Amino acid sequence: MRLAIELARRALAIPGAGEVGCVIVKNGEVVADGFNESELTIDPTAHAEIVAIRKAARKWNDINLCRATLYCTLQPCGMCSMACIWANIGRIVYGASRKDVNSIYFELRHFNTADLICDAFRNDLEVISGVLADQCSKLYVKPHEAVPPNKLEGDTVH
Ligand SMILES: [Zn+2]
C-alpha cells in the first residue's frame, strides 16, 4: 500500500494524471502498478486498477491474474471491481473508502462496490478496506470540502 500511495503522490505532479495508485502483488513480488491515466490518455477506462491489470496481463501474457492481490489507495469503483472479478484477482486491499472522500470520485448514486463483489458470481474474492486509510484519504478532497475547479466533472486539460 505504501507503494500505491507513492504512485498516487507521483501522479499528482504529472499534468493529466489522477491521484489514485494501484499495485498488483503475487507471491510477495510486485507484478504491475499504475495510476489513473484517464485524462492523460483520453481514456475514461484508464483508472489505476485497470492500468495495473492491463500491465500484469501483458507481462504474464495471460488474462488470468491467478488470484493476485490488488492494492489501491481508493476503494475501487464499479468498473474496476468488475475488472478484478474478470481478471481473477484474489484479494482487493484498499485504503480510503467511499465515505472518506468527496463524492466526485465515485458514481453519482450510492453504490457500494463491496456489495457488488459479494453479490457477484465470485465468493472467493476477499476485500480488505481501511489499510493506511488516513494516509490514503489525505490524497483526496474530503466529503465536506469544496471541490477545486480542476477536479470538477467535465474539466479538461488543453
Ligand atoms: Zn475505477
| Ligand 1 centroid, distance to 142 Cα (angstroms) | 18
CA–CA separation, 121 and 6 (whole Å) = 33
For the stretch 102-156, pLDDT in tens is 888 877 666 677 777 777 767 788 999 999 999 999 999 988 888 877 776 544 4
Residue of 37, 39, 49, 145 marked active site: 49
State yes or no: is 126 an active-site residue: no
CA–CA separation, 125 and 33 (whole Å) = 20
Q: How confident is the model at residue 157 (pLDDT cuts 50, 70, 90)?
A: very low
pTM of the model: 0.88
| Ligand 1 centroid, distance to 74 Cα (angstroms) | 9
For the stretch 1-38, pLDDT in tens is 999 999 999 999 999 899 999 999 999 999 999 999 99
For the stretch 21-30, pLDDT in tens is 999 999 999 9
